[in-house]
Amino acid sequence: MTPSVDESAARKGPQAAVPASDLVYQEVKARILDHRLEGGTLISEGEIATELQISRTPVREGFVRLQAEGWMTLYPKRGALIRQAGPDEAREVVEARIVVESHAVESIVNAGETAEAAAELRAVTERQRQALADGDTTEFVALDAAFHHRLVLRAGNSLFVDFFDNLGDRQRRMSTRAVWKSTGNAVAVLAHHEELAQLVEDGDTAAFRARLTSHLQETHRRYLA
């Protein structure tokens, strides 16, 4: 039998205990991001409460948080509808990420940290290469997010990092579907990352922005295809 949320938290010890509502939020959000819960799916507090073996109150709290972040819409007495990620949202995510990541690279170049940043990015691409060889799509997509997050983190602007984290969740939802459609898509993503790491090391901010734009737009097209 699957352990309840409270049981799972308890096994980690008192210092690691997480409120049930947080675990509901994390679990349901993970299912949305990896498409176990597709846009347009209607779920209820009752079914999640039963599955996780908890009361409805923390489920409701988790759902409210997910609605506030735009992942679902709550309908009283009916349930929660998982929101679709439409063309406009995908386009807006891509545009925002181009601005944030390009600015991050400019900051890295100005700080004279291109070699260090490129080394960090290449470490991520090597792990992606292994995930691809292992056929581990979930790990590959997580590392895709880590590659871009590393850029923004290296730039050192905490406000941009927080903003990017929210964008990154939406991009992960897009990337998962794009990668799952074809192994060739994953191969292309890996090749793009290698090129981007080289452009960071070269300090070529204009070329980086152009390559990043085509990289993200290609993911966008594959998501919608």
Read off the tokens for 84.
């679709």
pLDDT at 181: 53
CA distance 172 to 163: 15
pLDDT at 176: 67
Does CATH place domain 5-82 in 1.10.10.10? yes
pLDDT at 175: 67
pLDDT at 162: 87
pLDDT at 10: 39
Q: Write out pLDDT tens, residues 136-173.
A: 988 888 898 899 999 999 998 898 998 888 777 777 77
Are 5-82 and 87-224 in the same CATH fold?
A: no
CA distance 8 to 142: 23
pLDDT at 166: 77
Domain borders along the chain are 5-82, 87-224
pLDDT at 177: 62
Start-to-end Cα distance in the chain: 39
Helical H runs in 39-86?
45-52, 56-68
Ranges of the chain with pLDDT below 70: 1-16, 86-87, 175-183, 220, 222-225
CATH of 87-224, one of 2.60.120.10, 2.40.50.140, 1.20.120.530, 1.10.260.40: 1.20.120.530
